[in-house]
Structure 1
Amino acid sequence: MYETYTTVIGTVVSDPRHRQTSTGEPVISFRVACNSRRIDKRTQEWIDGPTLYLTVSCWRRLLTGVSQAVAKGRPVIAHGQIKTNEYVTADGERRADLEMTATAVGLDLSRCVVSFEGAPGREPSVAGTTTRPVGSEVEGAGADAQTPTAA
């Protein structure tokens, strides 16, 4: 089997789903939509290209961070191994779904601002992570000011 790794940049379009496998191993999965955009040379307007949808599955070390930071509507960057899952629906229809087993997931800092809390010299605590969309500056807020969590 060939291992194909890729990185996708997109928007979370489903609430993250927490579940356990039949062996009791926890996993979090969510759907991501990725669009390309380009300028139409004739009209000089932005045009959306086709949308790629895929399921991102997160295991082991990613569970804590993803459960704290990823939510529907947030901009993400995910990297991992990608594969196609083929299945048959209850109606007997054959379908295929693109799935990524993520090795890294983060918020896309070109589309949101993230602040976190952590002790100096130690890894930051994910529990204190907050985000807000880029361009939604809080008047009078300094670099370490708390901001409301973006939905």
Structure 2
Amino acid sequence: MRTEIPVTIEGNLTGDPESGRSDSDVQYARFSVAVNDRRFNEDTKQWEDGNTIYHPVVVFNDQARHIVDSLSKGDSVVVVGKLRFGTYTDKEDHTRETRDIIADTVGASLRFATVSVQRAPKASGPDAYAEGPVAAPAATGAGIAR
């Protein structure tokens, strides 16, 4: 069973992104984002840290390579994607639960940092029509916000 919920989070990478290839040769990157519940205490007039939630994030295809090349531990990011819950049965026949954010978009947060953007070359040939867990928008521009 899998359930997906749209989600947007902002937080910090807890480690450098790790990359790999799936059994079907799709490139992916995995990383964890710590989201801290920070609140202003009206009594003390100070910001206080609350609970920290660690979100495992997975991203596919070219974006995975861009993330590995661009981001590192401690970087502040904004992640937009789907929170996916799932279950599986382990080797001992126990039911286990999983939770991942499957990212559609990942970007550096500019709240406390600056970045220099370098555009990646556009795909051509067979790569322009590649399909996988996350495919690029169609060439007609369908689904692209303007």
> Is TM-score (shorter-chain normalized) higher than 0.5?
yes
Which residue pairs with 1:45 in the alignment? 46
Q: Which structure carries more helix by proportion?
A: 2
Q: Compare relative contact order (CA 8 Å, sep 6+) and give the higher one, 1 or 2.
A: 2
Q: 1:97 Cα deviation (Å)?
A: 4.3
Contact 1:54 1:97 in 2 (8 A): no
Which residue pairs with 1:73 in the alignment? 74
**Stretches (4+) displaced over 3 A:** 85-97
Is residue 63 of structure 1 aligned with residue 42 of structure 2? no
| Structure 1 length-normalised TM | 0.68
Q: 1:9 Cα deviation (Å)?
A: 0.1
Deviations 1:55-101 (A, max 9, x none): 11010231232122121110000100111244678899876443111
Gapped regions of structure 1 (runs ≥ 5):
118-123, 127-151
Which residue pairs with 2:19 in the alignment? 18
- Closer/same/farther in 2, CA of residues 2 and 55 from structure 1, 3 Å limit: closer
Q: 1:24 Cα deviation (Å)?
A: 2.0
1: distance between equivalents of 2:90 and 2:112? 36
| Structure 2 length-normalised TM | 0.70
Q: Which amino acid aligns with 1:16?
A: P
CA RMSD in angstroms comes to 2.6
Is residue 33 of structure 1 aligned with residue 34 of structure 2? yes
SS in 2 for 1:61: helix
Contact 2:16 2:31 in 1 (8 A): yes
1: distance between equivalents of 2:75 and 2:101? 18
Task: Give aligned pairs, total.
Answer: 120
Q: What fraction of aligned residue pairs are identical, expressed as a percent? A: 25
1: distance between equivalents of 2:92 and 2:42? 45
Contact 1:7 1:78 in 2 (8 A): yes
| Superposition map of 1:108-123 within 5 A | 108-117=109-118
SS in 1 for 2:68: helix
